Amino acid sequence: DGGITQSPKYLFRKEGQNVTLSCEQNLNHDAMYWYRQDPGQGLRLIYYSQIVNDFQKGDIAEGYSVSREKKESFPLTVTSAQKNPTAFYLCASSNLAGDLYNEQFFGPGTRLTVL
Amino acid sequence: AQSVTQLGSHVSVSEGALVLLRCNYSSSVPPYLFWYVQYPNQGLQLLLKYTTGATLVKGINGFEAEFKKSETSFHLTKPSAHMSDAAEYFCAVSEVTGGGNKLTFGTGTQLKVEL
């Protein structure tokens, strides 16, 4: 089955620690995205990538880093510089193919809690 | 920059009643609009999308939305609510960027369906 997988589903971290969230897709999509979701705030874009070895900051990139070494993988690192990292993190992908309106497909999410 | 406003963070309806979830957008160019649904602790699933052509768009699970350019609206409706419709709904607009297809989301509307 094609889709997006995120792991782990739940993640606990101590303050001051970096943590990496995994996102893998087997849809052969060009673009991948990371969003952060907080209650009452909708989804906010952290980083996105259109092609391998290239990515752009979204609206709330501070305290986060990403890499795109393979087309199917787009891991997100939450660093100790992120002031309030407790949130639900969603990964998505889309097939650009020159179309503006290609839908984004979402993974099941990772809930990160800082203890 | 484009933006989306969803009026009403919480909407409650009786089972069998009409569902109406409101979405207004701002855009300097013809928009591409989406409605997504999210069940608790899950990712987002596309309900429907408007690109060009017919302004009344039908989606999954009996939902539909009408694009009204004069009102800058894209409200989501369903004639008869079912208990399984209880979820959070997000409206989004697509934006062209140098990095690809970027979605801007509203803050979401939590739909509650009562017996």
Separation CA A88–CA A108 (nearest Å): 10
pLDDT, position A1:
64
With beta carbons under 8 A apart, name residues in chain A contacting B44: 43, 90, 92, 104, 106
CA count, 13 A, side-chain hemisphere, A65: 8
Q: Please say if the pLDDT value at position B101 is more than 90.
A: no
**Quick check: helix, strand or coil at residue A76?**
strand
Give, as one character, the DSSP assignment of residue B83.
G
pLDDT, position B64:
98
Contact across the interface for A101 and B49, Cβ inside 8 Å: yes
Separation CA A89–CA B97 (nearest Å): 22
Mean pLDDT of B31-57: 92
User: Which of A30, A37, A59 is the best substitution to test chain B (most B C-beta atoms within 10 A)?
Assistant: A37
Low-confidence ranges of chain A (pLDDT < 70): 1, 97-101
Q: Does A79 touch chain B (CB under 8 A)?
A: no
Nearest residue on chain A to B99, alpha-carbon basis: A50
pLDDT, position B98:
60
Q: What percent of chain B has pLDDT over 70?
A: 96
